[in-house]
Amino acid sequence: MNRGRKDVNEKEVQVAVKVLLYDLMMLDDRPLLQLPLRYRTALLQHVGEHDESDLRKFLHAALDAKCEGLMIKARGPPSKRCENWLKASWGGVKKDYLEGLGDSFDLVVIGGWWGNGRKAGWFSPLLLACYNPETELLESVCKVMSGFTDEFYKELTAFYSREENQCAKKSYYDVAESMTPSVWFEPVRVWEIRGADLTVSPVHRAGHGLVPGREAAGISLRFPRFIRERPDKTMSEATTAHQIVELYQQQFAPAASRRLVGDEADAERHDEVAMGGLEDESVERAVL
């Protein structure tokens, strides 16, 4: 493509992109793959537009099915409202990008690696931990390098470059040897972090010994992103290991079944179209 990788001006992009929809595999939570292609193609021409409430229903259904999110493509230029709702142009939507979806965690900053490339000279990524009140340990959860501004990186690096904010690895830092950062930090800052989901980890130590059947493993937060500082919280007030285990287990709770779009009348109408029984001349012409 004739474009740069950074600071791209949309007016300078010379490559024309066009989305062509050529098949419909599912409609209103109903699989269509058993139907001939000509029926699916006819239905594709009659799929209506969906608003924000519909998209939220689709997203909730995807998350209930343990998917990471949705991949959405618009048939035309997206409206400004939808563009703002997706926080970008049309594309991937995950629960951690939407307010009110997913959970946030208050985690303690305990170490950092020196960055590479554009982030050379800054601490990036940062090692974060949860608190275990029973053992009084800080157990590693994730490395975070998303959600920061350049100004924040500069302040952060200046803060942790001071000798009083650095330390040797403390006895209560429960961190695997393979996760040893460039510099250990004093546990004086707590951050609110949001992520995609929690997963069993052979490296991170959060909640190790508490997951049934996976006692040797810990739990980590996937795709973590910085939200804000929590100056009102101390190390002992951070998210606990038991809370993380509980949230991890809740991910596997059975989801209540629900319709995605429309009511039973809509479902019957789509079934009738799928079987070619709807008396709609345009559909009949498309099928034929």
Q: How many CB atoms lie within 10 A of CB 56?
A: 15
Provide the pLDDT for residue 93: 59
| 10 against 188, higher pLDDT | 188
Q: What predicted TM-score, i.e. pTM, was given to this entire model? A: 0.62
Give 123's DSSP letter: E
> Would you say residue 5 lies in a domain?
no
Yes or no: say if 44 and 275 are a contact pair by the CB < 8 Å rule.
Answer: no
User: Tokens 């098949």 — which residue?
Assistant: 23
Q: Is pLDDT larger for residue 19 or for residue 122?
A: 122
> Is residue 266 situated within a structural domain?
no
Provide the pLDDT for residue 18. 66
Q: How far from chain centre, in Å, is Cα 174?
A: 26
199 lies in the same domain as 188: yes
Residues 245 and 119 in one domain: yes
Rounded to 10 degrees, the C-alpha dihedral 119/202/176/68 comes to 30
Asked whether residue 245 falls in the same domain as residue 111, the answer is yes
Given a cut of 70, is residue 258 above it in pLDDT? no
Q: 182 and 44, same structural domain?
A: no
Is 273:280 a contact under the CB 8 Å cutoff?
Answer: yes
Q: Are 87 and 160 members of one domain?
A: no
* 44 shares its domain with 111: no
As for how many domains the chain has, the answer is 3
Do 32 and 131 fall into the same domain?
Answer: no
Tell me the one-letter amino acid at 42.
A
Residue 28 pLDDT: 77
Q: How far apart are CA 249 and CA 259, in angstroms?
A: 25
Note the pLDDT tens digit of each residue in 38-96: 888 888 777 666 666 777 777 777 766 767 677 765 544 445 544 444 443 345 556 55
Identify the domain containing residue 204 by its residue range: 104-250
Integer-rounded Cα radius of gyration of the chain = 24
> What is the identity of the amino acid at 247?
L
Q: Check whether 259 has a pLDDT greater than 60.
A: no
203 within a domain of the structure (yes/no): yes
- Higher per-residue confidence, 221 vs 29: 221
Residue 174: strand pairing partners: 139
Among 69-73, 225-229, 264-268, whose mean pLDDT is lowest?
264-268
Does residue 32 lie within any of the structural domains?
Answer: yes
